[in-house]
Structure 1
Amino acid sequence: MNARTEPAEAEPVTPARPPVVRELLLVAGLFAVYKLGRQLAADHTGEAFRDARDVWHAERWLHLPGEGAVQSLLLHGDGLAEAANAYYATVHFPATLAFLVWLYLRRPAHYTWSRRVLAAVTAAALLLHLAFPLAPPRMLAATGLVDTARVYGPSVYGPPQTDHLSNQFAAMPSLHFGWALMVAIGLIVATRSRWRWLWLLHPLLTLLVIVGTANHYWLDAIAAAALLGAALALIQAPRRTAATDTAGGRDARELVPAERRVLVGAGR
């Protein structure tokens, strides 16, 4: 009897990781350009407050919920306000960095896609910061909101006149929210767990924090989501294959059935 075998499926090819030194230099360069751009827009105080009043009135005209409704939940106790301030100050960059490092190590193709999307959103945000300087709601007396970071701590900002490390008039769009939303979308696209949709809790919590601490208006988050949507429409996500699912390029759930067919055919 002649053993009949089926041709084995080709071994999936693992997507190549970009050179790590190049990626570090690229990310550092993008961050430096972004910080420089924020500083260029830091002196438009009068314009920033005029834009803030316009945004506040636009939200009321659109019947968006008042930011004070969220903040009132934080002001029930010092602990909630302090936790929200700490989240705002410490989660933004580390969470995004951890996301990119994990993708780089485990999903190289998704890493490249996510890095491009984040770079596009950040570049567009920089242009908007330059064109539309905006004072955050904590600075606008008309909002009646409390600067929770100043009152309860911790705070990442000093007085605008002496704070040379950040541009506090770059409220729109909110990159806190835009980056958090991309982290969630990137992990949902790159993984298969039935629980992966829970990653959406990260941008949801971020949204409540940035609004409740009076660092951003609702429209800041809406603008960030719009920019992210445009970037996702223009930059195509990689296709899901066995090679993109594991660092070794093999997904047992997909490859084992094929190998089983070869073994069964060889035994006939």
Structure 2
Amino acid sequence: MNARTEPAPAGSDAIARPSLVRELLLVAGLFLVYKLGRQLATGHTGEALRNAHRVWNLERAVRLPGEGTVQSLLLHGDGLVHIANSYYAAVHFPATAAFLVWLYLRRPAHYVWARRVLAAVTGAALVLHLLFPLAPPRMLAETGLVDTARVYGPSVYGAPATDSLSNQFAAMPSLHFGWALMVAVGLIVATRSRWRWLWLLHPLLTLLVIVGTANHYWLDAIVATGLLGLALAAILPPGFVRGTPISLRSPHRTATTARRAQGRLVPVRAQARAEERVPAGAGR
């Protein structure tokens, strides 16, 4: 999955690179607000479990595949489930941070766009966490699912009653999946490699991991996808004009095509100016 790093054509990243200090302060501030918001949503154990029953029953009513199908594949060997737990624990934040750093250094305009989209999705997710606390499937006995992180390790969560660092009743929407999908979409839009569509493997693997480890329901990923879709519709990437069909073609290629078309117009304009300078009757 090679994100080619040719210099961006003129006009594709016209926005100057934002101040690094300002960006660091902004990201840190947003992170603190989010963590504080998640803490406000803690302590709703009864409501979170009731909502978990509702989500589980809704998934069965609409005949979504059982989360246990994915988990059974992971439980074929201790090594595979350990890898899945490690992916859940170690990839989420570093992958998103690396994505933003790369955009900041190589595609400043796309960085500003991606940061705004991620902030919008995360803010909307926080509101849903407050309004709809949801226990993950690993806490719901009727699912029959194993808490793979607790049994096989590694785990990023402590006991819900004593875990003061995270809100374990914030399953919907899944920011693990929402952020992973945005990383893939952002790299597809901002790069021009023919292999860039392989970045979709990241959200696909993330989806299998969050479901197979019993940390999320299918509906958590579906709601995250919907929120991201709304954010992408409202916050367009550089080079895309509202009212025109939105494509995931690279804006760099679009800019190159525009320059070639402009180059074809130059000889025509030059010929027209030459004809204007010819005296009337000179060709007779």
Q: TM-score, with normalisation over the residues of structure 1?
A: 0.86
Partner of 1:198: 198
Higher deviation after alignment, 13-22 or 24-33: 13-22
Partner of 1:7: none
* Counterpart residue type for residue 161 of structure 1: A
Q: Deviation per CA, 1:211-260: give whole Å up to 9, x if none.
A: 000000000000000000000011111117xxx85xxxx98xx69x96xx
Shift of 1:117: 0.2
Q: Deviation per CA, 1:100-156: give whole Å up to 9, x if none.
A: 000000001100000000000000000000000000000000000000000000000
Partner of 1:154: 154
Identity in percent: 76
Partner of 2:134: 134
Return the alpha-carbon distance in structure 2 between the equivalents of residues 55 and 152 of structure 1: 26
* Counterpart residue type for residue 74 of structure 2: L
Return the alpha-carbon distance in structure 2 between the equivalents of residues 221 and 15 of structure 1: 33
Partner of 1:225: 225
The aligned length equals: 246
Written as runs of structure 1 = structure 2, the 5 A alignment for 1:1-268 is: 12=11, 14-239=14-239
Return the alpha-carbon distance in structure 1 between the equivalents of residues 41 and 10 of structure 2: 52
Return the alpha-carbon distance in structure 2 between the equivalents of residues 27 and 65 of structure 1: 37
Q: Deviation per CA, 1:145-203: give whole Å up to 9, x if none.
A: 00000000000000001100000000000000000000000000001111000000000
- For the aligned residue pairs, the C-alpha RMSD in angstroms reads 2.4
Shift of 1:61: 0.3
Shift of 1:15: 2.7
Q: Deviation per CA, 1:78-106: give whole Å up to 9, x if none.
A: 00000000000000000000000000000
Q: Which has the higher contact order (CA 8 A, sep 6+)?
A: 1
Alpha-carbon contact 2:41-2:129 (below 8 Å) kept = yes
The secondary structure found in structure 1 opposite 2:16 is coil
The secondary structure found in structure 1 opposite 2:65 is coil
Structure 2: runs of 5 or more not aligned: 1-8, 241-250, 271-284
Which protein shows a greater Rg? 2
Return the alpha-carbon distance in structure 1 between the equivalents of residues 10 and 71 of structure 2: 54
Shift of 1:30: 0.5
Q: 1:143 to 1:98 in 2, by over 3 A?
A: same
Higher deviation after alignment, 14-23 or 83-92: 14-23
Return the alpha-carbon distance in structure 1 between the equivalents of residues 135 and 102 of structure 2: 35
* Counterpart residue type for residue 225 of structure 1: T
The secondary structure found in structure 2 opposite 1:133 is coil
Higher deviation after alignment, 213-222 or 12-21: 12-21
* Counterpart residue type for residue 135 of structure 2: A
Q: 1:11 to 1:128 in 2, by over 3 A?
A: closer
Structure 1: runs of 5 or more not aligned: 1-9
Alpha-carbon contact 2:14-2:109 (below 8 Å) kept = no
Q: TM-score, with normalisation over the residues of structure 2?
A: 0.82
